[in-house]
Structure 1
Amino acid sequence: MLTVTPAGQRVVPAPPARWRRVVAVIVVALVVLVGGAGVFVGVRLARPLPVPQVQVTLPDTYTIPGTPPQLPWPGMGQATVEVEGIGSLGSSGAVRPVPIASVAKIMTAYVVLTDHPLGTDEDGPTMTVSAQEAAAYPAQVAANLSLVKVSAGEVLTERQALQALLLPSADNVAQILARWDAGSAAAFLARMNAAAAGIGMADTRYTDPSGLDKATVSTAADQVKLAERAMKVPALAQLVAMSQATIPVAGLVKNYNTLLGSDGIVGIKTGSTMAAGGCLVFAARVAVGGRTFTILGAVLGQAGPPNKILPMVLAASQKLVQAAAAAVGSYVAVRAGQQRGRRGRGRGAGRRRYQHLRCHHERVAAAGTGRPGQALMPAADDSRRSV
């Protein structure tokens, strides 16, 4: 067969039909092969990857060198100190429920803020001082209670009421807050005790919202449990760190906790009655190894003359804070470049390929000195875990 072309062009013979069939078969075969490969690759990619297995090559625990901390415990009452993320640094005195005076107001504020959350930049809802609450003020003054002046019809924001409660430790405002929050003191006390039970404060019982009643009792250990919860409420942590505030009728009020701002102390609440002695639940921030830790503690039952018990408990607490801060040190647990584990992935036929995981930065552990075998939880994955 010949292919006819216009004049002047070369005649090209047409390929035999047999070769055309061969070429067609080859093209079809290539298409099939390529399509088949696509199916094969698609099946391979659709299969789930084998689960990587991680093996930790670092020790589970480290022994931190040093000697156990010797804290200057008060010679009376009871006390306890802990560092968040590290644990207890010890305690002193008999662990038994004792009167706690105005330290009870930590729970009062905690319950109010649980029921009526307050942002750090918010004033919150308002409450109005009743005629009955204002009329009780002269008798409360005669009884030498801790108070702020109020008047009938006075409007307080939630923030102002909590400032009056926590800074000058106003017993009368504790009652006003209880009525505003729960409708009655009895209903509010039920909420306080329910909150205590929920936190695990087994040795605590609240019988009034101010702590004036000596039947309101707790332990130093229980109050530290509460302190840990309370300091995680931003508005509460902000309020207890204030040295002063202004209330509508009372005017400028100051915080009885004169340790604020020294030794990293940021709270929390003082208390003092003749039945309870001097009491303080405290919180302090300390920087170690590039991280900030919170020291929490409570000192209860510092007995002495009425005008001395508050200064006594403040002095005893400050010594504990200073010693606790000195007892927290840094320790290089994992150095940069050190292998911290290996990650394996199956490759078929029982073979496994391992990838070594190394630490890119030094991991510095903060710990109480002399605490052998403290767990530092090294990680052997791509996450960052605190040591």
Structure 2
Amino acid sequence: MTVYGTATPTPTKRRGLKALTATAAALVAVGAVATFQLVRDIPDATLTTTIATTIKVPGKAPSLPWPETGSAELMVEGLGRLGGSGGEKAEPIGSVAKVMTAYVILKDHPLTGDAEGPSLTVKAADVADYEGRKATGQSLVHVVEGEKLTQRDALEALMLPSANNIAHQLAIWDAGSEKAFVEKMNAAADALGMDDTEYTDPSGFFPTTISTAADQVELARAAIKMPVFAEIVELREATIPVVGTIYNYNDMLGVEGVFGIKTGSTDEAGGNLVFASRLKVGGRTLTVVGAVFNQPGANTPEQLAEVNVHVRKLLAAVRKTVKEYELLAAEPAGRVETAWGGSTTVSPAAPLKVVGWPGLPVPVAVTTVPPGPSIAAGSVVGQVEADSVRVELRADGSVEDPSLWWKLTRI
């Protein structure tokens, strides 16, 4: 029996329709994936450098004219220790001890600006102390009972003509006794890390007051940060009651930039000078702090003259040695690499120059800027800094954009 009506699709036609639908879906999927691949963010390039965190100034370490006897030490503020000689054993330092006396007084009784500070009245005991010291040939300033010295007057008498009797008077005024004041001196030395120093009196007259050049340089560095101390030790002369004009024993003032700090000499200590000097390098003014100790001589003038010879030689050598050096050349010091394999070197935009001396280790800091996905020649990718000097890091070349194939096939 024949049935008339709509024909029923054959299985072959159904399979063809399904295949067509599947193909269309696949094409849509491929198109979506391709579109996604093309619009995806491209990863930033990566930057690596070969710049060390510490670089030594190139060249042979300096050989300075250190004294053959005694000891010496040199420090350049903000840069580091330039070197030293001798000094393995603590020795008497004479009146250099008064640097600590002044330091303790100013720590306990700070002065600012032109302030004179409180008055110290000379008592009968102070006059007796002065008279008792005269027979031993000590450095003194004349005092009379009832005389009033301001704190600044007393510090000027202490540091310029190196008055031992004023060191004693200041100690009593501050701590009530020399013993108590000496304890303060040694406590201050401990706080500054002066491990090879021992004070037994505030003037340095006793040979049992001992130290090293290195320790006294540490103290001097701390003391000259006190503006009033720095002002006083640079004075060539001053005027105080009774005595009138007093003069600074430091003949090195103004020589090779010296602006202080203190002489010291005894038979046991020999000649000593702890000093500070201004050093101009380019547009900077540096401070050199040093000491030359325990120099020979038959008397104080001979001892201090010998010290001064060595200080002049050392500071002249420092001026020739401490200057501007190239720490890092303007040549490739790293590389930028893109995610698709492109790369270019990076270099400082100019040589990185610092103030120092050959062999000085200089800390170096590198900071980077995210370079983005592609790189153009000359683009800034970071900076390198040393001794407050900064130089940009720049790409040496450009990197081509990624290919269409890379964009479509990247994972």
TM-score (norm 1): 0.76
Three-state SS of the structure 1 residue aligned to 2:256 is: coil
2:198 equivalent among 195, 202, 205: 205
What are the equivalent positions in structure 2 for 1:189-204 lying under 5 Å apart? Answer: 189-204=182-197
Is the Cα–Cα contact under 8 Å of residues 56 and 380 in structure 1 kept in the other structure?
no
In 1, the alpha carbon distance for the partners of 2:145 and 2:184 equals 27
2:323 equivalent among 319, 324, 329: 329
1:273 equivalent among 266, 287, 295: 266
Equivalent residues, number = 321
Task: Using the TM superposition, give the Cα deviation of residue 119 of structure 1 relative to its aligned residue in structure 2, in angstroms.
Answer: 0.8
Is residue 282 of structure 2 the alignment partner of residue 289 of structure 1? Answer: yes
Partner residue in 2 for 1:386: 388
Task: Using the TM superposition, give the Cα deviation of residue 91 of structure 1 relative to its aligned residue in structure 2, in angstroms.
Answer: 1.5
In 2, the alpha carbon distance for the partners of 1:170 and 1:376 equals 44
Is the Cα–Cα contact under 8 Å of residues 55 and 364 in structure 2 kept in the other structure?
no
CA shift in 2, pair 1:71/1:334, >3 Å: closer
In 1, the alpha carbon distance for the partners of 2:113 and 2:305 equals 30
Please identify the structure whose Cα radius of gyration is greater. 2
2:134 equivalent among 128, 141, 159: 141
What are the equivalent positions in structure 2 for 1:1-387 lying under 5 Å apart? Answer: 58-306=51-299, 307-333=301-327, 364-368=353-357, 370-371=358-359, 374-378=361-365, 380=367, 386-387=388-389
CA shift in 2, pair 1:65/1:146, >3 Å: same
Identity among equivalent pairs (%): 47
- Equivalent position amino acid for 2:205 in 1: L
CA shift in 2, pair 1:86/1:340, >3 Å: farther
In 1, the alpha carbon distance for the partners of 2:367 and 2:334 equals 6
In 1, the alpha carbon distance for the partners of 2:316 and 2:292 equals 14
| Structure 2 unmatched runs, 5+ | 1-45, 337-345, 369-382, 390-411
In 1, the alpha carbon distance for the partners of 2:248 and 2:47 equals 53
- Equivalent position amino acid for 1:289 in 2: G
In 2, the alpha carbon distance for the partners of 1:78 and 1:183 equals 35
CA shift in 2, pair 1:175/1:362, >3 Å: farther
Task: Using the TM superposition, give the Cα deviation of residue 200 of structure 1 relative to its aligned residue in structure 2, in angstroms.
Answer: 0.6
Task: Note the aligned Cα RMSD (angstroms).
Answer: 2.9
- Equivalent position amino acid for 2:107 in 1: T
In 2, the alpha carbon distance for the partners of 1:340 and 1:196 equals 47
Task: Using the TM superposition, give the Cα deviation of residue 61 of structure 1 relative to its aligned residue in structure 2, in angstroms.
Answer: 3.0
In 1, the alpha carbon distance for the partners of 2:76 and 2:354 equals 13
In 1, the alpha carbon distance for the partners of 2:190 and 2:335 equals 42
In 2, the alpha carbon distance for the partners of 1:136 and 1:275 equals 23
- Equivalent position amino acid for 1:316 in 2: H
| Structure 1 unmatched runs, 5+ | 1-52, 343-356
Task: Using the TM superposition, give the Cα deviation of residue 124 of structure 1 relative to its aligned residue in structure 2, in angstroms.
Answer: 1.2
